[in-house]
Amino acid sequence: MSFNITRLTKVIGQTVYNTLLPDTCALCEQTLGDHQQDHLCPYCRLALPYNLNPCNACGMPLGQTNTQLCGPCISKPLAHQTIVPLLHQKEAAYLLHRFKFQKSIREGQVLTQAMLRMISATYTNNQPFPQCLIPTPTSWQQRLLRGFDHAQILASMLAKATNTPVKANLLKRKYGQPQRHKTRAQRLKLANSTYTLRRPTHQIPYEHIALIDDVLTTGTTARHLVRLLQKAGISRVDLWCATRAT
Ligand SMILES: [Zn+2]
Ligand SMILES: [Zn+2]
């Protein structure tokens, strides 16, 4: 209980601090004249490592070409539509690290705003919008250890901004080591045994969802989860992540 009260006091203190003091840039810390939803000055916003011309299905940067899919995605697309606005390097990697490991919501808001800019540019009139957002699950042991579920927080912020519900109870992750230091083969084996559907398939009333995660690395977990959801009858699975490792 004392832990919760301490944490609550810290959150209230932070909210008061954020309300009373002027906003500052999340990267260079210069004072911002007006409150910016992404907490960035114009220079730092421009300097972010944007993922220019990514593959529509896996988010891998394609370079200067007119194609919309990378070679592997022509035959085996990772997802129907992938949103991943930043490359996992420099300022974007710093922001993500601060959000995930320092539990800083402010950096999460910067990343969310970058995602929202790409979402609104992608889902135009002829592109249907997902019916719900599903965060990539973390195990309850991991949540307890970290005290923070980054994918669920990103999903909540995106849900609020796009007026779309979040369903965090469809998928389940068994406890296991984080995947950061695993090889591709180890990740594949792990993904197949780690993630399961929590509900019987006939109880999933969606045809189109977006799966949310912070960083898209090898795509192994995402591919497994997309297949799992498709087998459960969801015909279209999109993937929304903040950064893309290359
Ligand atoms: Zn700045
Ligand atoms: Zn691709």
Residue 232 has a pLDDT of: 86
The larger pLDDT score, comparing residue 97 to residue 34, is at 97
Based on the domain organization, do 129 and 220 belong to the same domain?
A: yes
5 and 99 part of one domain: no
Clarify whether residues 97 and 169 are in a common domain.
yes
74 in the same domain as 126: yes
Of the pLDDT bands very low, low, confident and very high (cuts 50, 70, 90), residue 147 is: confident
Claim to verify: residue 142 and residue 166 sit in the same structural domain: yes
Question: Between residues 240 and 146, which one has the greater pLDDT?
Answer: 240
- Band (pLDDT 50/70/90 cuts) for residue 105 is very high
- The CB density around residue 34, as the number of other CB atoms within 10 Å, is 6
* Residues 139/173, Cβ–Cβ less than 8 Å: yes
Ligand located closest to 67 CA: 2
Residue type at position 65? T
Q: What pLDDT does 198 receive? A: 76
Based on the fold, state whether residues 109 and 147 are members of the same structural domain. yes
pLDDT beyond 70 at 132: yes
Nearest ligand to the CA of 69 is 2
CA of 61 to the centre of ligand 2 (A): 8
pLDDT in tens, 34-63: 778 899 999 999 999 999 999 999 999 998
Does 178 lie in the same domain as 77? Answer: yes
Asked if residue 53 and residue 21 are part of one domain, the reply reads no
Q: Are residues 88 and 40 in the same domain?
A: no
Question: What pLDDT, on a 0 to 100 scale, did the predictor assign at position 129?
Answer: 96
Residues 53 and 9 in one domain: no
- Residues 140, 128: Cα–Cα separation, whole Å: 33
Same domain, 69 and 6: no
CATH number of residue 162's parent domain: 3.40.50
Count the domains in the chain: 2
Rounded average pLDDT over 125-136:
91
Give the separation between CA 115 and CA 122, rounded to whole angstroms.
10
| Cα 94 to averaged position of ligand 1 atoms, centre (Å) | 14
Ion ligand 1, residue ranges at CB < 5 A: 25, 27-28, 41, 44
Say what the pLDDT of residue 2 is.
46
Q: Model confidence over 149-198: pLDDT tens digits?
A: 899 999 999 999 999 999 877 887 776 666 566 666 666 666 666 787 87
Q: Are residues 232 and 139 in the same domain?
A: yes
Question: What range defines the domain where residue 182 resides?
Answer: 49-244
Residue pLDDT, tens place only, 64-95: 888 899 999 999 999 999 999 999 999 999 99
With a cut of 60, say whether residue 207 has pLDDT above it: yes
Q: Domain boundary residue among 30, 47, 64?
A: 47
